[in-house]
């Protein structure tokens, strides 16, 4: 049996929605249109953060650990990613080190090097270099708390997060779970 590595920063949800909410969207009284574009859209969050802040967005890799066939407390879709799996955790930061988002992704361990030749690059940049065609399939959205993320972001929750699958040639490539800092309200207020 594979022993899971140390945990990742999962939100304790106050509210969550599945694929039907992702497709329909939320009332603007619950989540502004700008936040919905960031969370429910199928574009690159790293690129969106750069466009929003006009700052270079860096990837700070904080963990790359084998998790084998363990569910790793990940969203249910983890089982669509072939195993054994590797978990990658990163901060998306400004070039001055301010944390804008946190992301965890699960990859088939034997193939992660093929797709992330340089783990410190954003996923979209790595995949663009190899001209890998993808489909980002957003499956869930959350609003919740995490003491660890409050400390890391130096911001009070609740936080907004999401999870999605990247599909490549009709097969799941990776599962990604992202949480965004409330600092982004500065750019996303409507």
CATH of the domain at 116: 3.40.1410.10
Whether 2 is covered by a domain: the verdict is: no
Q: What is the pLDDT of residue 46?
A: 85
Whether 120 is covered by a domain: the verdict is: yes
The DSSP symbol for 72 reads T
Contacts of 5 (CB under 8 A, 6+ apart): 63, 65, 66, 67, 87
Q: What is the pLDDT of residue 135?
A: 73
**Domain range spanning residue 158?**
12-188
d(CA 96, CA 48): 17
Q: What is the pLDDT of residue 89?
A: 94
Q: What is the pLDDT of residue 153?
A: 96
d(CA 177, CA 97): 21
Number of domains the chain is built from: 1
Q: Print pLDDT tens along the chain (190 aa).
A: 344 445 899 999 999 999 899 999 999 999 999 999 999 988 888 888 998 899 989 989 999 999 999 999 999 999 999 999 999 999 999 988 899 999 999 998 888 766 665 566 556 555 555 555 567 789 999 999 999 999 999 999 899 999 999 888 888 888 999 999 999 998 887 4
169: left (phi over 0), alpha (psi -120 to 50) or beta: left
Whether 5 is covered by a domain: the verdict is: no
Whether 4 is covered by a domain: the verdict is: no
CB burial of residue 4 (10 Å; 0-12, 13-18, 19+) = middle
Q: Half-sphere exposure of residue 64, counting CA atoms within 13 Å on the CB side?
A: 11
Whether 54 is covered by a domain: the verdict is: yes
Q: What is the pLDDT of residue 144?
A: 97
Whether 147 is covered by a domain: the verdict is: yes
Contacts of 128 (CB under 8 A, 6+ apart): none
Whether 6 is covered by a domain: the verdict is: no
Whether 85 is covered by a domain: the verdict is: yes
Run of H or E including 68: strand 57-68
Q: What is the pLDDT of residue 121?
A: 57
d(CA 46, CA 32): 20
Contacts of 160 (CB under 8 A, 6+ apart): 31, 35, 39, 141, 142, 143, 179, 180
């Amino acid at each position: 049996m594979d022993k899971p590595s140390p945990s990742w920063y999962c939100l304790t949800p106050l509210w969550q929605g599945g694929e039907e909410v992702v497709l329909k969207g939320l009332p603007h009284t619950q989540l502004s249109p700008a936040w919905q574009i960031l969370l429910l859209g199928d574009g690159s969050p790293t690129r969106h953060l750069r466009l929003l802040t006009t700052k270079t967005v860096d990837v700070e890799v904080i963990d790359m650990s084998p998790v084998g066939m363990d569910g790793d407390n990940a969203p249910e879709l983890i089982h669509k990613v072939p195993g054994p799996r590797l978990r990658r955790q990163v901060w998306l930061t400004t070039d001055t080190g301010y944390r804008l988002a946190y992301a965890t992704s699960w990859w088939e361990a034997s193939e992660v090097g093929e797709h992330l030749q340089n783990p410190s690059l954003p996923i979209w940049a790595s995949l663009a270099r190899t001209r890998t065609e993808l489909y980002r399939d957003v499956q869930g959205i959350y609003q919740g708390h995490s003491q660890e993320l409050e400390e890391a972001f130096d911001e009070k929750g609740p936080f907004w997060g999401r999870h999605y699958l990247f599909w490549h040639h009709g097969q799941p490539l990776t599962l990604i779970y992202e949480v965004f800092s409330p600092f982004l309200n500065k750019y996303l207020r409507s």
